């Protein structure tokens, strides 16, 4: 979730251009957690009606993503690629998931603003768009 206007606009361009949107199941957890954090930090902005609307919006967005389950296959791929250790653990899980598609010959592109993910992805040969 992006709250910076320029990053959000760039991400939206990538979203709209994407033919298939694939992510780790972690994305659902991360979105809910960030929305809850936003809700707690800015209670004056997030009135009672805000949360049901946010949940509905998140459900709509998440339904447009193919979410890959975190399982033994992802763990094995993560174990096999030491370069993933450059990233935070949850980001490494996302990249390991992406590598499963990449290994299968699917054209993938990472859209992120995270410097560690960008560096690791480039080393792995994954196309990156920085936001």
Q: Is 31 or 46 the better-scoring residue by pLDDT? A: 31
Q: In whole numbers, what is the pLDDT of the chain averaged over residues?
A: 83
Which sequence spans correspond to the domains of the chain? 5-130
Angle, alpha carbons 73-75-76 (nearest 5°) = 65
Confidence of residue 2 (pLDDT cuts 50, 70, 90): very low
pLDDT of residue 3: 44
CATH class in words for 5-130: alpha beta
- pLDDT tens per residue, range 101-123: 999 998 888 888 899 999 999 99
pLDDT of residue 36: 84
pLDDT of residue 15: 62
Query: How many Å apart are CA 26 and CA 24, to the nearest integer?
Result: 5
22-24 and 66-68 beta bridge pairing? parallel
- pLDDT tens per residue, range 55-105: 888 888 888 888 889 999 999 999 999 999 999 999 999 999 999 999 999
From the centroid of its chain, how far is CA 9?
16
């Amino acid at each position: 979730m992006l709250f910076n206007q320029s990053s959000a606009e760039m991400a939206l361009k990538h979203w709209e251009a994407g033919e298939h949107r694939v992510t780790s199941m972690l994305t659902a957890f991360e979105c809910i957690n960030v929305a809850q954090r936003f809700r707690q930090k800015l209670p004056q902005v997030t009135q009672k009606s805000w949360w049901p609307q946010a949940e509905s919006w998140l459900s709509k967005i998440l339904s447009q993503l193919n979410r890959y389950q975190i399982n033994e296959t992802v763990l094995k791929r993560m174990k096999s690629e030491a370069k993933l250790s450059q990233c935070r653990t949850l980001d490494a899980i996302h990249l390991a998931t992406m590598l499963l598609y990449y290994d299968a010959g699917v054209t993938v592109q990472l859209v992120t603003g995270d410097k560690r993910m960008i560096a690791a992805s480039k080393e792995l040969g994954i196309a990156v768009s920085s936001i």
